[in-house]
Amino acid sequence: MAKAYTQNEFDMLMEKVEKVDIRVKNYLEEAGRDKWARIYAPVNRAWTMTSNIAESINSSFVEVIPSTEYVHTVIDQGWRFIVCIEKKNCSCKEFQMEEIPCPSA
């Protein structure tokens, strides 16, 4: 949930935490979402970098459908993302928040 890029993803993960132990959810809420959740951070945390060989392997199985020179529809394991290289954004929100291309881009 700390790495969630969308409000829906964050809410879904918080519901899972609540089902496991409401005290954990309450603790996290009291700490302040802006201190630990990416979508509530007051600044972009582009310095957070991860590397995963599985992401590299999975990227070879992605279907890309160009709409224009800069806008592409990317279908990855049933998920559909719209990527605009010119504006440096993706519908997954990761590209905008990390300020580096997401796997879809």
- Report the predicted TM-score, pTM, of the whole model to 2 decimal places: 0.47
Q: What is the mean pLDDT of residues 14-34?
A: 84
> CB-based contacts of 44: which residues, under 8 Å, 6+ apart?
97, 98, 99
For residues 97 and 65, the model is more confident at 97
pLDDT for the residue numbered 57: 47
What per-residue confidence (pLDDT) applies to 62? 59
**Among 29, 39, 48, 45, residue whose Cα is nearest residue 2:** 39
